[in-house]
């Protein structure tokens, strides 16, 4: 399905122009308009899936191999020393466009702000309790 009011549906399907790095039958990879670093791109499926929980299996299985190809191209072509994959699911997680997309952010290793969290603390009991609350949904 494609949604008329979804900006990434329209970009991925070429209705709205974008600077496209790569395109195939299932995906378009475009440059982010507000890049975290030079060369930050978004991998966007042409079909509409709001987030990772809706992505179909066929599409999902192509996402990481394609991200790896792009990461290799960032290293070879841009001189990136590494890259981050970032993928936000839901407003609470910072997702602003409700059409699945994977950020691929090249890293050059000098003075960049990294997307890290402050390490917290947990006890074994807490981890066990969390595991049993989620575990029944994974069976």
What are the residue numbers of the active site? Answer: 101
Q: Which residues pair with 103 in a beta bridge?
A: 42, 86
Binding positions for ligand AMP, 79-118, rule CB under 6 A: 88, 94-97
- Is 9 a binder of Zn ion (CB under 5 A)? yes
104 is an interface residue for Zn ion by CB under 5 A: no
Minimum distance of ligand AMP from residue 68's CB (angstroms): 20
Considering only CA atoms, give the Rg of the chain: 17
Phi and psi angles of residue 69, each rounded to the nearest 5 degrees, phi first: -60, -45
CA pair distance 2, 125, nearest whole angstrom? 45
Helix, strand, or coil (residue 126): helix
Whole-number minimum distance, CB 31 to ligand AMP, in Å?
Answer: 7
Under a CB-based contact definition with an 8 Å cutoff, are residues 24 and 43 in contact?
A: no
Choice from 34, 53, 122, 132 touching ligand AMP (CB under 6 A): 34
Using CB under 6 A as the criterion, which residues of the chain lie in contact with ligand AMP when the complex forms?
7, 11, 18, 30, 32-34, 42, 88, 94-97
Using CB under 5 A as the criterion, which residues of the chain lie in contact with Zn ion when the complex forms?
3, 6, 8-9, 48, 99
């Amino acid at each position: 399905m494609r949604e008329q009011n979804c900006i990434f549906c329209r970009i991925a399907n070429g209705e709205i122009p974008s600077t496209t790095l790569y395109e195939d039958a299932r995906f378009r990879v475009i440059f982010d308009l507000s890049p975290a670093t030079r060369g930050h791109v978004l991998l966007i499926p042409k079909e509409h899936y709001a987030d990772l929980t809706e992505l179909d299996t066929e599409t999902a299985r192509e996402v990481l191999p394609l991200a790896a190809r792009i990461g290799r191209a960032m290293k070879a072509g841009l001189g990136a020393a590494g890259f981050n994959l970032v993928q936000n699911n839901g407003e609470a997680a910072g997702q602003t466009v409700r059409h699945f997309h994977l950020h691929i952010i090249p890293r050059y290793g000098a003075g960049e702000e990294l997307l890290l969290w402050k390490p917290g603390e947990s006890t074994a009991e807490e981890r066990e309790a969390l595991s049993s609350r989620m575990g029944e949904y994974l069976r």
